[in-house]
Amino acid sequence: MPTATAPSPYKTSTGSSTGPNGKAGSHVDFNAITDQQFLRAADHMKLEDEIQLRLRSPYREMVVQVPVRMDDGHLEMFHGYRVQHNGVRGPYKGGIRYHHKVDLPEVRGLAALMTWKTAIVGVPFGGAKGGVTCDPTSMSRAELQALTRGFMQKIDLALGVYRDIPAPDVGTNAQVMAWMMDEYGKKHGYTPAIVTGKPVNLGGSLGRDEATGRGVMIITVEACKAYGINLKGAKIAIQGFGNVGSWTARLIAKLGAKIVAVSDVHGGIFKEDGLDVDKVLEHVKATGSVVELSGTRAIDNEELLTLEVDVLIPAALGGAITKQNVDNVKAKLIVEAANSPVTPEADEALQSKNIPVVPDILANGGGVTVSYFEWVQNLQQFNWSHQKVIGELEDRMLRAWKAIHARSVEERTPLRIASYVEALDRVAQATRQRF
């Protein structure tokens, strides 16, 4: 039986990613992280070797070149990826990331996370992820559109409403999804269900924009109850103020918690008695960043992670909490809104300090859950009300939390192992039934 120390069947990352702890050169190997978590859980549940073999590696990987004529006339060659990890429970599902550090191992690790996440929230999808190595912040709208259409043409052959359905992730948004849908439609006819996270008037679902943050909020409420933290008045720090971080801040502040610190790629802000989240949002809209909001103290991303708070919510990129900074973390609870923000070494250190960590595959499953609702609405050509979407989302997130928390208590195992075991159990069962 493979053990946690067994080498990955895949060559790991070149370590090109720099985590949002801001440390230049900190090497985060997402595929190795996911692989290690998989092996720990497989070992814990004594998963049979053949099932491990089938579930550990991806089903299909595509690497494509995407030439784009840039605004100044020169030709730029981008590289894009789509990894389909596992499809035994349904069509492959996962976001598309535009970021200058995206590479195949990162996409591979994120694709596996999607397989476990869709299983945990109980939606009938498998796991996939995609990405293009680019810096969307330095590209014009025309360049981004050309890149998106070119990428879509290249991965078209692996996609399908019942085969593989992309969605937004870091650096992509509803507009990018609209271009992807439009490009797919040129060849296949009007097919809104080919992507989720679209603009609402093009078949997107009400509540999709806020879905991941809302799911993080629901899980944070439950985790606070379970670990004896009174959310009313609790101090919360959130790293990353994009889609997920900003919605999480907004929704948790409404429950009476104090969002004492938030940050983005440019830096962070702190206010002891709690930030006015609406003001932060207005400031971001006006300036493009949270930094320099009047009445707040400037902090950097590293300081944010080490603040004395009740709940720390990393909601930026992976590799935020590592063995280098974990000893300085003082939060009582960590909720992983981002994917892989805590490295396995840091995870073990937090465990030995008795700081519970709610893992990504449970905490941020709200996005893919409402993506599923969007897909269902597109297939039925029927729109749900916002109330119905958030009611169904809450129902599924609570069911996932209850199953995993119960397993964690019964098996005296951290939430991360309990989550992986729950996910592997469901995917393994479907695998045994199929083969």
Name the token pair of 125: 């999808």
Compute the distance between CA of residue 223 and CA of residue 229 in angstroms, rounded to an integer.
Answer: 8
Residue 131 sits in the site that holds ligand NAD (CB under 6 A): no
Per CB under 6 A, which region of 184-192, 258-266, 383-391, 415-423 contacts ligand NAD?
258-266
Residue 141, amino acid: R
What 8-state DSSP symbol labels residue 14?
Answer: -
189 phi-psi bin (left φ>0, alpha ψ -120 to 50, beta other): left
| 316 is a contact residue toward ligand NAD (CB under 6 A) | yes
Site for ligand NAD in 394-423 (CB under 6 A): none
Strand runs labelled E in 87-117: 92-99
| Amino acid of residue 366 | G
Q: List binders of ligand NAD among 196-255 (CB under 6 A).
A: 212, 239-245
Q: Site mask, ligand NAD, residues 321-360, x = CB under 6 A?
A: ----------------xxx---------------------
Contact assessment for residue 306 and residue 330, using Cβ atoms and an 8 Å cutoff: yes
Catalytic pick among 93, 101, 129, 198: 129
According to CB under 6 A, which one of 265, 281, 398, 430 is a site residue for ligand NAD?
265
Site of tokens 């930030």: 275
User: Counting every residue, how long is the chain?
Assistant: 435
- For 386-418, b/e burial (b = at least 16 CB within 10 A) is eeebbebbbebbeebbebbbebbeeeebbbbbb
C-alpha span between 379 and 396 (Å, rounded) = 20
- To ligand NAD, the closest distance from the beta carbon of 388 in angstroms equals 19
Cβ of residue 348: shortest distance to ligand NAD, in angstroms?
A: 21
Residues near 241 by beta carbon (within 8 Å), at least 6 away in sequence? 249, 262, 263, 264, 280, 284, 290, 315
Which residue lies nearer to ligand NAD by CB, 373 or 428? 373
Contacts of 246 (CB under 8 A, 6+ apart): 213, 277, 280, 281, 284
Burial class (CB in 10 A: 0-12, 13-18, 19+), 353: exposed
Half-sphere exposure of 172 (CA within 13 A, CB side): 30
The interface region with ligand NAD, picked from 23-31, 155-163, 178-186, 312-320 by CB under 6 A, is 312-320
CB of residue 250 to ligand NAD, shortest distance in Å:
13
Site for ligand NAD in 21-50 (CB under 6 A): 22
Nearest of 406, 372, 401 to residue 389 by alpha carbon: 372
> Which residue is nearest to ligand NAD, using beta carbons?
242
Using the contact rule CB under 6 A, the part of the chain among 262-270, 272-280, 394-402, 420-428 near ligand NAD is 262-270
Which residue is associated with the tokens 């429950």?
255
Token output for 365: 């499953």
Contact assessment for residue 325 and residue 350, using Cβ atoms and an 8 Å cutoff: no
317 binds ligand NAD (CB under 6 A): yes
- Rounded to a whole number of angstroms, the CA Rg of the chain reads 20
User: Phi and psi dihedrals of 312, rounded to 5?
Assistant: -110, 125
Name which position in 301, 343, 377, 419 contacts ligand NAD (CB under 6 A).
301
Q: Which residues pair with 314 in a beta bridge?
A: 239
Ranges within 61-100 binding ligand NAD (CB under 6 A) = none
Report the SS3 class of residue 435. coil
Residue type at 362 in one-letter notation: L
Q: Which of residues 68 and 315 has its CB atom nearest to ligand NAD in the complex?
A: 315
Shortest distance (Å) from residue 378 CB to ligand NAD:
17
Residue 129 bears catalytic tag: yes
Among 343, 367, 373, 403, binds ligand NAD (CB under 6 A): 367
Nearer to ligand NAD, 173 or 429 (CB): 173
Q: Closest separation between CB of residue 245 and ligand NAD, Å?
A: 6
**DSSP bridge pairs for 98:** 132
**Beta carbon nearer to ligand NAD, 279 or 353:** 279
Nearest 10 degrees: CA dihedral of 348, 352, 358, 360? Answer: -10
Q: Report the residue number, 35 or 106, with the smaller CB distance to ligand NAD.
A: 106
Reading the block at residue 383, the tokens are: 């729109």
We find the least distance from the C-beta atom of residue 111 to ligand NAD, in angstroms, to be 12
The piece of 44-52, 163-171, 325-333, 419-427 that touches ligand NAD (CB under 6 A) is 163-171
Told to check if 8 binds ligand NAD by CB under 6 A, we report no
CB of 391 to ligand NAD, least distance (A): 19
Q: How far is the CB of 265 from ligand NAD (least distance, A)?
A: 4
Q: Among residues 2, 20, 204, 344, which is the contact residue for ligand NAD, using CB under 6 A? A: 20
Q: Shortest Cβ distance from residue 224 to ligand NAD (Å)?
A: 20
Query: Which residues are known catalytic residues?
Result: 129
Residues that bind ligand NAD (CB under 6 A): 20, 22, 168-171, 212, 239-245, 263-265, 301, 315-317, 337-339, 364, 367
